[in-house]
Amino acid sequence: MHSFLKHLCIWYLVERWSMMALPALLTRLLPLRRLFVLGIGFFTLCFLMTSLGGQFSARRLGDSPFTIRTEVMGGPESRGILRKMSDLLELMVKRMDALARLENVSELHRAGGDLHFPADRMPPGAGLMERIQAIAQNVSDIAVKVDQILRHSLLLHSKVSEGRRDQCEAPSDPKFPDCSGKVEWMRARWTSDPCYAFFGVDGTECSFLIYLSEVEWFCPPLPWRNRTAAQRAPKPLPKVQAVFRSNLSHLLDVMGSGKESLIFMKKRTKRLTAQWALAAQRLAQKLGATQRDQKQILVHIGFLTEESGDVFSPRVLKGGPLGEMVQWADILAALYVLGHGLRVTVSLKELQSNLGVPPGRGSCPLTMPLPFDLIYTDYHGLQQMKQHMGLSFKKYRCRIRVIDTFGTEPAYNHEEYATLHGYRTNWGYWNLNPKQFMTMFREGEVPGHPEQIHGNPWHCVLREPAAP
């Protein structure tokens, strides 16, 4: 802006000198002067478009094209720019008017005193003058309208902020004793995980309370928040009856591919299809007309994920241990034959996608209610879910079934007892119900281990998975 005013002053001095000292030279250079006048008008128009475009292009994504940001245009310097532009155009109109009068005088001298111009010989600056005057008037109108909009927007924003400031303090509610402490924690650590910003936390007290009351559950709902959409619980899916299956071809597709371990599991399942069909037929005869609801089950094989090392897949075809893959293949086949819906994941990315994990480091709850009735996993998968589900892990932990080949005694499972007696291990202190541990033994075969067992076609053991 300063550079433009500097050039304009130089142009004004040169023009004044030319009007006073060189009228004859200006008359001879009339075509060039006309081009210069047109250039000044075009430059002014471009300057206006660039200045206004730069101001209005800074609006937020998703705002209306007619919405102006108070942060960008709200300062007095922004309104001053519009006024300076209007004054600048008025000054240019006066200068161009003087040039036009000089041009008319030159034309009169050359015409020999003829005071009448034909229609096709009107002074070329007249139309340009009208255009510049119209632009100046438009800029003046824009300045007035922008000033009115900004005053109204700032007044409304101040009223809303003033009305909410009193309502964005941690309430003292005995039903939510941890609210104030959680607000303090959020104030100091809200940038520690990008998931908080994903849920709308921006460092303000209101955003802390909104998150802690609507995403988590440590603070009471804010009375001024419109929670109609948040209170609408998703409609439960209609109940579907489970039907025994004897064709396992679709299960082979669900199991996926790309790993030697999966190839081994699929070969085993395909080879034992006849035995599974026979076991399903016998169980159907035993149950008769018993109605069974179909369950949605997520099977996350944690030890096959790259994050856990996946040391088994490279050794499958080289004589490596196959016991874990045998039991997982049989679990998948048993659940599928029973007629339940299955989702199989063997990577952390697939697990996060199926659970609805928000982007970040796993400090926040899931973005949606858990869509699965049961989750079958191992200790690797259990650790991964705890790391990425946030508070939702405690909320949905009763739906987890841990494939624990030899079982876990209560002394190792109970966190407090294991800590006091030195029994803490990599597979213990999860505080799960002992029935959530699934072993390969029949109930009662192993003394002191009342855990359930998973399917085994050789013994025709098809157990209906227990719902939460």
pLDDT digits (tens, 9 = 90+) for 253-299: 999 888 889 999 999 999 999 999 999 999 999 998 888 999 999 99
If asked whether residues 222 and 258 sit together in one domain, one would say no
If asked whether residues 194 and 331 sit together in one domain, one would say no
If asked whether residues 284 and 207 sit together in one domain, one would say no
Q: Which of 204, 230, 256 is the endpoint of a domain? A: 230
Long-range pairs, 176-183, Cβ under 8 A, ≥24: 176/218, 176/219, 176/220, 178/218, 179/212, 179/218, 179/219, 179/220, 182/212, 182/216, 182/218, 182/219, 183/208, 183/209, 183/212, 183/219
Q: How confident is the model at residue 48 (pLDDT cuts 50, 70, 90)?
A: low
If asked whether residues 263 and 209 sit together in one domain, one would say no
Q: Which of 370, 403, 436 is the endpoint of a domain? A: 403
Report yes or no on 7 lying in a domain. Answer: no
The three-state (H, E, C) secondary structure of the chain, written as one string: CHHHHHHHHHHHHHHHHHHHHCHHHHHHCHHHHHHHHHHHHHHHHHHHHHHHHHHHCCCCCCCCCCCCCHHHHCCHHHHHHHHHHHHHHHHHHHHHHHHHHHHHHHHHHHCCCCCCCCHHHCCCHHHHHHHHHHHHHHHHHHHHHHHHHHHHHHHHHHHHHHHHHCCCCCCCCCCCCCHHHHHHHHHHHCCCCHHHHHCCCCCCHHHHHHHHHHHCCCCCCCCCCCCHHHHCCCCCCCCCECCCCCCCHHHHHHCCCCCHHHHHHHHHHHHCHHHHHHHHHHHHHHHCCCCCECCEEEEECHHHCHHHCCCCHHHHHHCCCCHHHHHHHHHHHHHHHCCCEEEEECCHHHHHHHHCCCCCCCCCCCCCCCCCCEEEECHHHHHHHHHHCCCHHHHHHHHEEEECCCCCCHHHHCHHHHHHCCCCCCCCCCCCCHHHEEECCCCCCCCCCCCEECCEHHHCECCCCCCC
If asked whether residues 368 and 252 sit together in one domain, one would say yes
Plot region of 357 (φ>0 → left; ψ -120 to 50 → alpha; else → beta)? beta
Q: How far apart are the first and last CA of the chain?
A: 70
If asked whether residues 213 and 252 sit together in one domain, one would say no
Beta bridge partners of 452: 438
Report yes or no on 324 lying in a domain. Answer: yes
From CA 363, how far away is CA 210, in angstroms rounded? 16
Report yes or no on 175 lying in a domain. Answer: yes
Report pLDDT for 73: 44
Q: How confident is the model at residue 446 (pLDDT cuts 50, 70, 90)?
A: very low
How many folded domains does the chain comprise? 2
Query: Residue 15 in contact with residue 99, Cβ under 8 Å?
Result: yes
Report yes or no on 271 lying in a domain. Answer: yes
From CA 158, how far away is CA 100, in angstroms rounded? 50
Taking residues 208-217, report their average pLDDT.
94
If asked whether residues 224 and 260 sit together in one domain, one would say no
Lowest mean pLDDT segment, chosen from 132-146, 170-184, 345-359: 132-146
pLDDT at 339 over 70: yes
Q: Which of 179, 203, 230 is the endpoint of a domain? A: 230
Report pLDDT for 242: 93
From CA 12, how far away is CA 216, in angstroms rounded? 66
Report yes or no on 147 lying in a domain. Answer: no
Report yes or no on 389 lying in a domain. Answer: yes
pLDDT at 347 over 70: yes
Is the entire prediction scored with pTM above 0.75?
no
If asked whether residues 276 and 335 sit together in one domain, one would say yes
Tell me which of 315 and 241 has the higher pLDDT: 241
**Beta strand 437-439 pairing with 296-300:** unpaired
If asked whether residues 309 and 178 sit together in one domain, one would say no
Tell me which of 321 and 343 has the higher pLDDT: 343
Report yes or no on 276 lying in a domain. Answer: yes
Beta bridge partners of 363: none
Mean pLDDT of the chain: 75
Q: Alpha-carbon torsion 389, 390, 395, 400, what sign?
A: positive
If asked whether residues 292 and 375 sit together in one domain, one would say yes
Q: How confident is the model at residue 39 (pLDDT cuts 50, 70, 90)?
A: low
Report pLDDT for 254: 94
From CA 37, how far away is CA 29, in angstroms rounded? 12
Query: Residue 70 in contact with residue 120, Cβ under 8 Å?
Result: no
Query: What value does the CA radius of gyration of the chain take, rounded to a whole number of Å?
Result: 39
Calculate what percentage of the chain has a pLDDT beyond 70: 57
If asked whether residues 269 and 333 sit together in one domain, one would say yes
Taking residues 416-424, report their average pLDDT.
89
The residue segments making up the domain with residue 388 are 248-403
If asked whether residues 259 and 385 sit together in one domain, one would say yes
Report yes or no on 343 lying in a domain. Answer: yes
